[in-house]
Amino acid sequence: MEFSRKQLVSIVEQASTLSERLSSKFVVNSTKKFDDLVKTRIEKWRESTARGDDKKFENRLAWDGLTLEDARRAVAPVSLVDQINLPAWTETLNEGMKVATIAFLPEVQYSCIDLQEPIPFEELFLPFVYIARQKLAARTGQNYHQLSDTAHAMLERRLLIAFSEIGAHAAEIKFSGFRATRQSAIAYILKQSENTVSRDRYEAFIKQMLNDNGLIAFFQEYPVLARHLATKINFWLDAVEEFLSQLATDYTKIQQIFQPDADLGQVVEIKCNLSDPHNDHHTVMIITFASGLKLVYKPKGLHIDEAYFNFLSWFNQQEIDLPFKCLKILNRPNYGWVEFVESSPCEDKKAVQRFYQRTGMLLGLLYILRGNDCHVENLIACGEHPVIIDLETIMHPRIKEKENSNQPQTALELALQFLVQNSVLQTHLLPQWHLALGGKLVYDLSPLAVNDEQDTKYEHPIFIDINTDTMHLKYEPVPIDFGNSHLPSLGETYVSPDNYVENLIIGFQKIYRLIISHQEVLLSANSPLLNFYHQRIRLLFRGTQTYASILNNAQRPEYLKDGIDYNIKLELLSRAYLTEETKPLFWPLLQQELCSMVQMDIPYFSAFTDSNQLFAGLSTVSFADCMAPTYPDVVTRIQQLSETDLTRQIEVIRGAFDTSIGNDLEGTLSVSLGQPESTPENITPLSQEQCLEQAIAIAKKIQLQTFYADDSAAWIGLEYVPTVKRFQLKVLGYHLYDGSCGIALFLAALWTVTKDNQYRSLALKGLQPLRQYLENLSPEKPTELTESVNIGACVGLGSIIYALVQISNLLDEPTLLDNAKQVASLITTEIISKDQELNISSGSAGAILSFLALHKATGEAMYLELAITCGNHILKQEIASDVGIKTWDTAEKKLLAGFSHGASGIAYALLRLYDITLAGSFFLGAKEAIAYERSLFVPEAGNWMGLSDTNNSFTTGWNHGAAGIVLARLGSLAVLDTSEIRQEVEIGLNTTQKSSFDRVDRLCCGNFGIIDILLEASNRLSRPSLLKDAQQRAASVVSKAQQNGSFYLFSRHYNDMYNPSLFNGMAGIGYGLLRLSYPKLLPSILLFDCCS
């Protein structure tokens, strides 16, 4: 069985890529019968690159010198000009076809087959393993025998797995069709339920494919798959031949360096494909000799590795109490051999502490050297030694954000640059959550992530009943499991870094100060740093996960039928470039990326540490305007080391570990039945002066955290991402809840009390990025803010409106009202009608409160009308609950009890609206919300159930539960005051006062949330005892903060430095302290009240 030349030519034509079709090697078949096909492909190309945007698609073509007509020709069917000299891969493909029947003769043995772990459709691809084996033996001669039979079997098995990964999904489609013609659907279902395993139909399918020209038809249907498979063989042959030749050349040297006292013998084990495929599918391998020696083979020069371990060795010779482990290396120009590092346990807990101190020291070195991509698979815990095993991205080049470096940076840009390029986060050693696939995939690749196994919502295709009659694909969510080789262990117990953060920080401080003490030597002509000069390193232009995701999607069977369909899926890479209106400086890299991806390689870019030129394959591109050479940057970093920078980096380390806490917004303030806690009576309440003193101290700390530039200010902090229930350390946005508006509101309140202009100035500077953003808004150019779907009072446009109104009142700054009006103009009736959240935090109820605040400040009726529109929208979403009471169909699919996301918040907003409009529908809607909430009340607990509450534990915070419900009832007493409401207030207050105050301290669902609610209750009920309780709680919280050095913002750590925000951070605590001192001057933020 083999292809005719005509068939091979057809496969080459169909498998050709966009760039090939635009070359002189092909001519276009431009008959009208292909017009519809061309039109469809152009639409798919436009969608893939530009999400259907004509202008962006036009840019994508123009930047490559193409017109739309050129594009049409590129996607049309083509004919090959030279039909004699076909690409090399066609010969390999046909050789595999020729041996399809020979490959199954009895004398042909396959050690790569494992009956206990079958590979999907392995028999279908064995002929290609056979031809690869024959060609390798012929090409390598005596070098072939450097590997034992077992090692060769391991190589061949990995090749067979690669073939299956390329073609099994397409084969499954063919098998399903084959099976359907020989078995009814009912018989197939019954077969699946039987316990017996049959292979009759599967073997008949394989026989047809290998003996009856089935493979010919298969590859004619999937020509791109045929090209991939044959190309894979050729790349594999080249890579293995190189490896065997290099092994033969270096054999004696390897023995001398790594095991001088024993004969190495043959290579008896080989693990390959241990890295991403680069440069024609070259990957890292681990080999084991008969002597037991294990080595890592890397198909690239190891000059940077040598420089790194020499650098560690230099530090070991200094006054260092915890020496680093240095690896032996045999470096060659284009490849090298490295000592294998085995994961092993620590001797005792002291050794674990030393491990994390050394990890902190490594973090310091990586920070100094501008290291990058130290992910979980690049660190091995070898006893008490953390060892980095992949150093290709150390001294990673810095990408300049601004093409014109003379243009001044804004505060937001400065903060972002610090976080991304000038902080320890750049190393990727610290916890960092990443979002992918629209938030379906949430993962952390760092070695110091607390979660070693991470659940994802992303479903992977898995073959069930492999190589049997009932084999089929099933999509199942698969957890990300990186193993534990990066973690220290005691016996069989792996030890998370969670309780060793301080050890890590101690190590970081040690190495940082050691480098400072040796600055003169490190910057001298004899510096050990010079080993890094003019060394080639890798540039990570994009994350490998991005490439892998796009490549996996393009490998689906429907895209393997034509090279254009495959190429169009890869064109997704161009989207990142098309965010610019002018041709990006990095545009030349796109073609290099596509060239690699077309042959299933992960793109690989490199540069020298002293140059701004990039290398990709045989191409060299200069990026002087947007890429900085690394070596001078490292020198500059060493020159700029200081105690101030050390402090800031330590704060980032703590903040990074705070991101690993997951969902810590709720449940941190709870009361369990039978275990009430109350404020000790002997605590002396804080005086007004003490409250103010503490608030000022918080403001000064926030000042230290501030990034200043161009008369503006910005902050970094922990921002909560509700869709995935995770915190991320990032430059804070504009929102009230966790953005600059919230911080500015606290500073404005502090100015109102103290009249100290430094706080007024900082508040206005903090708002300047927002005001500049609004000034540059264009209806023709949608932006992140204008496309925001959230309109609530905590996060979203409504929160910005509310904040600007209050700050305008506090600072007596009328121009801020103009900004509030600008934001209000972005909330159209259409946007309101699409709101599904409905709640106070992010939905229409919150927007009501924001519009009412703006209406009160301006007297303009249009804002009251918008509030009414929001109220009507809420009422339209009412549905009957399970118990027959009306409720709302919210984004959470069930209305919760509580203020920010629940029924009491909606009721409060509707009652506030009724108070102004006297529209009975809003009053009735509020009563229905309260009635629904009452159905969730549990008398024994004195609390209201939430979705996640158990029978003996209830949330008692502002978000959900008694405290927030009490606040909502108190806030609307002037409108709805009944005996039932009063009774609920008393019950809720009693439960709130019993709640633990020895937990988190923040305003949202923390101690200062409880304090503010008790303060508001004292004011509205004229009850001094509640004020005393609030003051005592505040005194206790402040006392503990003074003892521990910071407030308690999260369940794990005492650390406030990177949490300056209002609801989850220090600004909220500061505002709460000011409210305790001046309750009638400052409004309750938790009620979204207005300044008097």
**Phi-psi sector, 657: left (phi>0), alpha (psi -120 to 50), beta:** alpha
Taking Cα atoms as reference points, which of 142, 162, 160, 175 lies closest to residue 103? 160
Would you say 963 and 988 are in contact if contact means Cβ atoms under 8 Å apart? Answer: yes
Contacts of 267 (CB under 8 A, 6+ apart): 146, 147, 148, 151, 247, 287, 288, 289, 290
Q: Return the ∠ at Cα 850 (arms to 847 and 851), rounded to 5°.
A: 85
Describe the chain by its helix, strand, coil percentages, rounded to 5: 50, 10, 35
Is the distance from CB of 727 to CB of 1083 less than 8 angstroms? Answer: no
Identify which of 868, 871, 778 has the alpha carbon closest to the alpha carbon of residue 822: 778
Find residue 398's DSSP bridge partners. Answer: 628
Burial of 777 (0-12, 13-18, 19+ CB in 10 A): middle
Of 166, 151, 152, nearest to 120 by C-alpha is 166
How far apart are the C-alpha atoms of 730 and 663, rounded to whole Å?
A: 17
Which 3 state secondary structure label does DSSP give 763?
helix
Q: What is the distance between the alpha carbons of residues 485 and 385, in angstroms, rounded to a whole number?
A: 12
Residue among 660, 371, 668 nearest 497 (CA): 660
374 annotated as ligand-binding:
no
Secondary structure (3-state) at 347: coil
At 878, which helix (H) or strand (E)?
A: strand 878-880
Query: Could you give the 3-state DSSP secondary structure of residue 284?
Result: coil
Question: d(Cα 346, Cα 543) in Å, to the nearest integer?
Answer: 33
C-alpha closest to that of 758 among 708, 806, 804, 687:
708
CA angle 192–194–199, rounded 5-degree value = 70
For residue 94, what are the CA distances in angstroms to 97, 227, 799, 861, 894? 5, 11, 66, 79, 61
CB 206 within 8 A of CB 124: yes
Which has the closest alpha carbon to 273: 157, 139, 362, 385? 157
115 Cβ contact partners less than 8 Å away, ≥ 6 residues apart: none
Would you state the structure tokens that stand for residue 454, as one six-digit string? 């991470």
Is 877 within 8 Å of 888 (Cβ atoms)? Answer: yes
Positive or negative, the CA dihedral 128, 134, 135, 137 is positive
From start to end of 556-663, where are the E strands? 605-608, 613-616, 619-622, 627-628
Among 736, 737, 1090, smallest CA distance to 916 is for: 1090
- 73's CB contacts (< 8 A; 6+ apart) are 21, 22, 28, 30
Which DSSP state fits 377? G
Whether residue 417 contacts residue 731, with contact meaning beta carbons closer than 8 Å, is answered with: no
Task: Note the helical H segments in 376-500.
Answer: 411-421
Please give the Cα distance from 416 to 146 (Å, whole number).
52
Residues belonging to the binding site are 1004
Q: Which residues define the annotated binding site for Zn(2+)?
A: 1004
